Structures are given as C-alpha cells and as structure tokens.
Amino acid sequence: MEQVAENVWVMRFPLRLLGVAIGRNVTIIRLASGKIVIHSTAPFMPADVAAIRQVGEPGWLLDATRFHDSFVEEGRAAFPAVPYLAPGDLAKGTAGETAPLTPAPSEWAGELEVLELDGMPKVREHVMFHRPSRTLIVGDVLFNFGRGASGWTRFFARHVMRLKEFIGMSPFFRLMIRDRDAFRSSVAAMMRWDFDRVIVGHGEIIARGGKERLRDVLSLAGVAPPEFERP
C-alpha cells in the first residue's frame, strides 16, 4: 500500500485483459470521521484486508463503473459487512445489497464528491473528487500505462489503443459514448473541480499536473467541452 497524499492510499493488483497487463488500482480514502472508502474491488488477501483496516474503519466498498466487474465477488467476500456501492446491476448475482453511488452518502459531504459521466448507459462510469487532497479518481476514462510498459502491453497500448504517449482514452471507451453532448456536459462539471493529482483505475498515477494532462486527453479524443478544449 502506497500513501499518495494525506488520507489517500493506493493498492495495486495484477489484472490482464487480452494478455495486456492493465492492473487494478484500489484507492483508499480516509474521511475525517476515521471511516474509509475503498474505491474498487480486488482479489484481497487476508494481509490486504489487515493493511486496509490499519488505515481506518472500512465504511464503504465500491466499484465506479459497470466494466469493473472482475473482482466484485472476491471484493465483497473480503468485506461482507461493509455497504457496497455500484452503478446499475453490476453486482447482480452476488450476495448482499447494492446501493447507488449517487446521491453520495451524507457522511462524505465536503470531502468526497461523486459525478456520473452521462451519455454512456452501458458503462455508467462515476468519477470522484477528494477535495482535501485535490485528487480526482477515475476508472476507465483515462489509461496511463507509462513509458515503462513493455512487450505485448507496450505494443497494444501504442498500436491497438493508439496511445502514442502511453496515456489517453481508449478507442473502445469512446465507442461507448452514445450521447456526446451529455458526456461533454458532465465532463465539464468534472473539469471544474480543483484537482491536480489523478488516480487512474489502470496504470500509473499522475502525481502533478493531472488536470492539464486530462484536458489534453479529452481534446485529442474529440470529447472535450468547448471551454476546456485545447486550441
């Protein structure tokens, strides 16, 4: 577990899709109350659960997009008594109830904000903003493989996903945008948040200058709101 900001930690787990090492980042946010929000499920081992509990009392476990279904069952089994939040019917067939991500729990007020990226009914990605640390937490809207990617992963990122700098929005994600006006409207609301750091669901964290990097990505993908589009 790596602490990336005050009251914010990241745990990294292996995950491969189509042979590509995309990984899974789990973000741990500790609120002023001492309760923690566990952003994303993973194949938590007993040692992982113990490390998380050392940070604070688990208050919520969540998955922020319908496409993050790889570890729902394992994640919920590791924290069976913790409320689980997710979009739509992501957790259908697993034990326990599922609560929506919006409106966000009242205990998050002033610290953690949630916004659904509209116009993507099959994805329903929700982005989150931790106000005290100026951190944006995303799922699949932004990939950041980093220049350290190698082998098939590097080839796939560069030539299939067409991420020349190994950072960007995947073509598949763009195809899932059904209503570009609705998507741009919600993206504009996201970009109005005062964030600097960006924690991605897959890949390397952008520790500084994340807002400008995301603005570049959105412009290159052709989905930036007019007020945030690069000239």
Q: Which two tokens mark 226?
A: 């007019």
Lowest mean pLDDT among 55-59, 82-86, 97-101, 128-132: 97-101
Which amino acid is it at 57? E
Average pLDDT over every residue of 171-196: 96
CA 228/CA 151 separation, integer angstroms:
35
Choose among 65, 86, 89: nearest CA to 142: 65
pLDDT of residue 187: 97
Tell whether the model's pLDDT for residue 95 goes beyond 70: no
DSSP code, position 178? S
List, as own/partner pairs, every contact residues 9-15 make where C-beta atoms lie below 8 angstroms and the sequence separation is at least 24, other chains included: 9/55, 10/199, 10/205, 11/42, 11/48, 11/51, 11/52, 13/42, 13/43, 13/71, 15/70, 15/202
Torsional class of 225: left (φ above 0), alpha (ψ -120 to 50), beta (otherwise): beta
Does residue 231 carry a pLDDT above 80? no
Whether 76 contacts 30, CB under 8 Å: no
Q: What is the mean pLDDT of residues 207-215?
A: 95
pLDDT at 228 over 80: yes
Instruction: State residue 145's pLDDT score.
Output: 84
**pLDDT band with cut points at 50, 70 and 90 for residue 128:** very high
Burial group, residue 160, by CB count within 10 angstroms (0-12, 13-18, 19+): middle
Q: Round to whole Å and give the CA distance between 93 and 101.
A: 19
Residue 100 pLDDT > 80, yes or no?
Answer: yes
Identity (one letter) of the amino acid at 121?
A: P
The ranges assigned to domains in the chain are 2-86+100-225
How does the average pLDDT of the chain come out, rounded? Answer: 92
Predicted confidence at residue 164, as pLDDT, reads 76
Among residues 110, 166, 122, 136, which one has the least CA distance to residue 39? 136
Q: Once rounded to an integer, what is the mean pLDDT over residues 138-145?
A: 91
Locate all alpha helices (DSSP H) within the chain, ordered by sequence: 46-55, 72-78, 151-155, 171-175, 180-191, 210-221
The letter for the amino acid at 133 is S
For the stretch 20-68, pLDDT in tens is 878 899 999 999 999 999 999 999 999 999 999 999 999 999 999 998 8
List CB contacts of 17: < 8 A, sequence separation 6 or more. none
Task: Please state, in angstroms and rounded to a whole number, the distance separating the CA atoms of residues 36 and 96.
Answer: 20
Architecture of domain 2-86+100-225: 4-Layer Sandwich (3.60)
Task: Report whether 211 contacts 196 (CB < 8 A).
Answer: yes
The token duo for 113 is 């904000």
pLDDT, mean of residues 87-102: 79
pLDDT over 80 (residue 89): no
